Structure 1
Amino acid sequence: MVRVREMGEADIEAVSTIRVRGWQAAYAGIVPPSHLDAMTVEDDAGRRRQWFSRPGRESRDLVAVGDRGPVGWVCFGPSRGDISGAGRVGEVHALYVAPDLIGTGIGRGLLAEAHAAMRDQGCAASALWVLQDNRRARRFYARAGYAADGATQEDVYDGVTLAELRYRREL
């Protein structure tokens, strides 16, 4: 049984573990191995502590908690980009599940909670960015009602440029 709750400062180490292991699993063969191998839970937790304690932070973090503690994490908030004509838009900034639990419904549960919270905040739509080559994530978001809206951006990892697609769905 997994329940979703607000993330607390005590969850930072577990969330960083989920995020780093999630990157290393999901982006193997997409992001250069040199970048993935250089990621550490300690570095991520340090950045997350700074971010988490930032005054005026508008994003929210939820964790899915099971018998072994946090097993999934979603971060969402106001859209960081301009999506003209869309009304108020929320954005899923990050969604990760412990790699050994992918496909068990934890990600769907976290996403549903984020959507409900965005609706409660008056958002009419939700957006997110996904690496073009991350086919598994693109299928997951398509099943959740998202579709590419034509916007793209590029990120560079250790000299390799990767395309991201913006996905959007009505709430």
Structure 2
Amino acid sequence: MTVHVREMAEADIEAVSAIRVRGWQAAYAGIVPRTYLDAMTVDADAARRREWFSRPGRESQDLVALGERGPVGWICFGPVRGGTDGPGRAGEVYALYVAPDLTGRGIGRGLLDEAHARMGGRGFEASALWVLRDNGRARRFYERAGYHVDGAAQEDVYDGVTLTEVRYTRAL
């Protein structure tokens, strides 16, 4: 599948929110409580994304992958949150989602490669990201892209269920 990666525009917000919500519901089924996933809506996500997108001085960058039907993938990245205990100046991939019916076709890798290039261009020497420990598919994807678990972990609570995220890092 041929895709083109470009900066996300405000007009992409609805499509990106659909990709994100459907991505969560597909990728985290059996990991995140069904009640949490079922409560997610594209409209609510789009409202939060509009607020975030219009925030003055935000340091994050959003890219979309465009296919024949418009946006089919999205990545958001920027400076590492909460400081870093890793090597050099680090960036962070905050989110990466591809339309669930198009996973496994290189779209996510194309977005990730472009984000790495742009992070390097901003002077970042390394990239970090967080993955739910039980999300084996995502973990394999990031490991194939050169990331490795660095030993850091954090917990998040979803509808009363505590889930562990592990941090991955790689040099740029």
Q: Is 2:34 aligned against 1:33?
A: yes
Report the count of equivalent residues.
171
Q: TM-score, normalised by structure 2?
A: 0.98
C-alpha displacement at 1:87, in angstroms?
1.0
Equivalent residue, structure 2, for 1:161: 162
In structure 2, what is the Cα distance between the partners aligned to 1:98 and 1:36? 16
Partner of 2:91: 90
Alignment of 1:66-145 (within 5 A): 66-145=67-146
CA RMSD of aligned residues (A): 0.6
Letter in 2 for 1:113: E
* Other structure's SS at 1:103 match: coil
Q: Which range is displaced more, 84-93 or 26-35? A: 84-93
Q: Secondary structure at the match of 1:86?
A: coil
What amino acid does structure 2 have at the position aligned with 1:157? Y
Mapping for residues 4-43 of structure 1, pairs under 5 Å: 4-43=5-44
Q: Distance in 2 between matches of 1:89 and 1:8?
A: 25
State the 4+ residue runs in structure 1 displaced beyond 3 angstroms: none
**How far does residue 81 in structure 1 lie from its aligned partner after superposition?**
2.6
Cα separation, 2, equivalents of 1:85 and 1:143: 20
Q: Secondary structure at the match of 2:120?
A: helix
Measure, in 2, the Cα distance between the counterparts of 1:122 and 1:150.
24
2:85 corresponds to which letter in structure 1? S
2:3 is the alignment partner of 1:2: yes
Cα distance in 1 between the residues matched to 2:110 and 2:82: 25
Deviation for aligned residue 1:86: 1.4
Deviation at 1:85, TM superposition (A): 4.9
TM-score, L = length of structure 1: 0.99
